Amino acid sequence: MTLIQWLHKNKALRLLIPVVIITTSTVAWAQQETAPIRFQKEKIALASDASFYVLDVIDGRNTPGASMGTIVEYTKVRPLMADARLERSLYEYWSYSTPARNENMIPVTITVKDFAINEKRVAPNKISGDFSIHLSFGWTRQAVPVDLTQYQAKVSYTRPETPYDHEALARRLMAAGLKHLDKWIKENEGKNPALARGVKLVFVDKPYQDTRDTVFYRPERKLTWTDFQGVSSRPGSNYAAAVFTSLSYEGAARMKEKHLEIEISVKTFMVKSMSWSRSSAHNDYTLRHEQLHFDVTRLVAERFKERLKKIDLTIEDHDSQIQYEFLEAFRDMDREQKSYDGQTQHGLNTGAQAMWDQKLTEEIARLYQIP
């Protein structure tokens, strides 16, 4: 029986043979046309004094995988494929130059946005090619992504239609990308907050000078009745005097070595034009009551500083964290002043006044190390 006769007899099987033949042919063609590439590891000379290491590589291209574009080989267009997924191949190459890891080094993540070789035959024995690369460098600090820098380059070339070392070309651009990061870090270390490893808080006690309307707190400078220059905003009030005290702070941030240094200066003051008294109440006892209001504000300012020392300030959000604690200090001041006036009945309860006087005097003495 001939093959034709057998096919006529087995009609249901006639379509199976072509399908099998086509599938086998396609696999063979794909294997034949793929051009594999494996990157040779090499030490890249870096100048940033081991300030970073490669933590991870992310393939952020539109077509992730092992594909690196197309090349022309023996007149045929072939897909150029890394020997593993591209991000793995690049990680092994780049991390080979940054093996050390410690807490002072930046764990860099490299995102590959473009990495492709594309060639075409433009004339007999003449191939035109382009290699484009786009890398984004960043790291995650205190759970917040931080962008550092980017590297983007494109190389155009022509070559004869002979075997060509595409791997060497790729390595040159890969090395150039890591050197770009290395140079950027060296130039920005100690200057750019994006490279800060953490926050250091520094308190500075500035010698603020009194002004015409403001008295800044100093333990040796006690209030006098001449400091009360305002007029009561509550006509008919039975109070003998009222002192307006408050606090504020100045902040400045700057890079110092590998940390962002936050300098804080806290001011405690009273405002003369908003503080008033009745001349009939000008005596030492009443003046001492008002002085203790000033002392309360100073101690609240110190508690504000102590709270700042205990919180974990972040580089990205330190300003709002300090602002929040400052508002808490104002609430604390309001509660403490009300408690003082409430327990002493605005100074009328001499026993309670004496207890507050002793307590606050001891706290101020400890704060300023007064014997």
pLDDT computed for residue 232 by the predictor: 82
The CATH classification of domain 34-191, taken from the options 3.40.1710, 3.40.50, 3.30.9, 1.10.3470: 3.40.50
pLDDT computed for residue 61 by the predictor: 95
pLDDT computed for residue 22 by the predictor: 35
Is the pLDDT at 246 greater than 80, yes or no?
yes
- Asked if 60 and 136 touch (Cβ cutoff 8 Å), the reply is yes
pLDDT computed for residue 3 by the predictor: 44
Model confidence pTM above 0.85: no
Stretch 346-362: mean pLDDT, rounded?
97
Which comes out higher in pLDDT, residue 233 or 203? 203
pLDDT computed for residue 24 by the predictor: 37
Banded model confidence at residue 240, pLDDT cuts 50, 70, 90 = very high
Which comes out higher in pLDDT, residue 22 or 47? 47
Stretch 363-371: mean pLDDT, rounded?
94
289 by Cβ neighbours in 10 Å (0-12 / 13-18 / 19+) ranks as buried
pLDDT computed for residue 30 by the predictor: 42
pLDDT computed for residue 235 by the predictor: 64
Show the tokens assigned to 200: 């250091």
Number of neighbours of residue 132 by Cβ within 10 angstroms: 17
pLDDT single digits (tens) 321-343: 999 999 999 999 999 999 999 99
pLDDT computed for residue 64 by the predictor: 87
| Domain boundary assignment for the chain | 34-191, 199-368
Stretch 28-44: mean pLDDT, rounded?
76
In this structure, is the dihedral angle defined by the CA atoms of residues 56, 57, 59 and 60, taken in order, positive or negative?
positive
12-21, 118-127, 177-186: range with lowest mean pLDDT: 12-21
Is the pLDDT at 69 greater than 70, yes or no?
yes
Stretch 49-74: mean pLDDT, rounded?
91
Average pLDDT in the chain? 90
Banded model confidence at residue 6, pLDDT cuts 50, 70, 90 = very low
Banded model confidence at residue 50, pLDDT cuts 50, 70, 90 = confident
Is the pLDDT at 112 greater than 70, yes or no?
yes
23-32, 80-89, 202-211, 217-226: range with lowest mean pLDDT: 23-32
Stretch 52-61: mean pLDDT, rounded?
96
- Asked if 166 and 39 touch (Cβ cutoff 8 Å), the reply is no
Show the tokens assigned to 212: 């015409």
Is the pLDDT at 281 greater than 50, yes or no?
yes
pLDDT computed for residue 171 by the predictor: 95
Q: What interhelical angle do 284-310 and 318-344 show, nearest 10? A: 150
Stretch 157-173: mean pLDDT, rounded?
93
CA distances from 182 to 89, 178, 365 (A): 20, 6, 53
Banded model confidence at residue 9, pLDDT cuts 50, 70, 90 = low
pLDDT computed for residue 35 by the predictor: 86
Stretch 117-146: mean pLDDT, rounded?
95
Q: Give every CB contact of residue 223 below 8 A, 6+ residues apart in sequence.
A: 215, 243, 270, 287, 290, 291, 294
